[in-house]
Amino acid sequence: MSTEQPPSRFASLITLAIIIAMIVARFAFSSLVTGLAIIIALLVFQRQIGKLRTAALLVTLGIVGLWEHPGFSIINALMIEPFEEIRSVISPHSRQHFFMAAIYALIAMALILFIAWDGLLHRRRSAWYALLGVLLVGGGAELLAGAFIFQMGAPFYALFGIPVRGFGWEFLYLYLVAWPCALAMSFHPIFRKSEDEHA
């Protein structure tokens, strides 16, 4: 099975710089602007990095943002500061479920990264469909949870008459931009290969 060519030294340096930028962006003051700048940089340098490698990096960017979900579950499960006020609200039974939900979320995130880095780079159609399914189910659930549970400060809910509460949507929701870009970018290399094999 064909894989994408190994990156040049220049492409490797760009890739390393972008991965470092992803981690820094998670804690940046304006994480939305920083995250969008990373997506734009990946799109600009996609030929040097390689389309499928760039798609895997876009998936990775989304995973970095999604870390917030298991992170908050662990904070609530272990009663870590600054959320000590939850001690009287969350029972030990619930804390156990928070903790295990975080563990399985981390396992799922690792599997998504494996699908992106192994499946896409090996041009597997099943990897592309799996990532599409994760985006549709996970992204759809994210948007519905925002509409009916907590908005994380996302301003677009106000368009539907939903009072906006909270904060933190800027980097968390970035995967809803990065992953469609990854799927669009990887579509042609993966499905062209299939067409060439049947020609």
Cβ-contact 123, 2 below 8 angstroms:
yes
pLDDT at 197 over 60: no
Phi-psi region of 168 (alpha: psi -120 to 50; beta: other; left: phi over 0): left
Q: What is the mean pLDDT of residues 111-121?
A: 96
Cis peptide before 82 (omega within 30 of 0): yes
DSSP structural state of residue 121: T
pLDDT tens-place string over residues 69-102: 998 888 888 877 655 666 667 788 888 998 999 9
The per-residue pLDDT for 19 is 74
DSSP structural state of residue 117: I
What is the rounded CA–CA span in Å between residue 59 and residue 19?
A: 11
pLDDT tens-place string over residues 127-155: 999 999 999 999 999 999 999 999 988 99
What is the rounded CA–CA span in Å between residue 140 and residue 175?
A: 12
pLDDT tens-place string over residues 12-60: 777 777 777 777 766 665 677 888 888 998 999 898 889 999 999 999 9
**Domain ranges across the chain:** 9-65+112-197
Token pair 């820094």: residue: 24
The per-residue pLDDT for 85 is 62
The per-residue pLDDT for 7 is 63
Q: What is the mean pLDDT of residues 103-127?
A: 96
Q: What is the mean pLDDT of residues 155-174?
A: 88
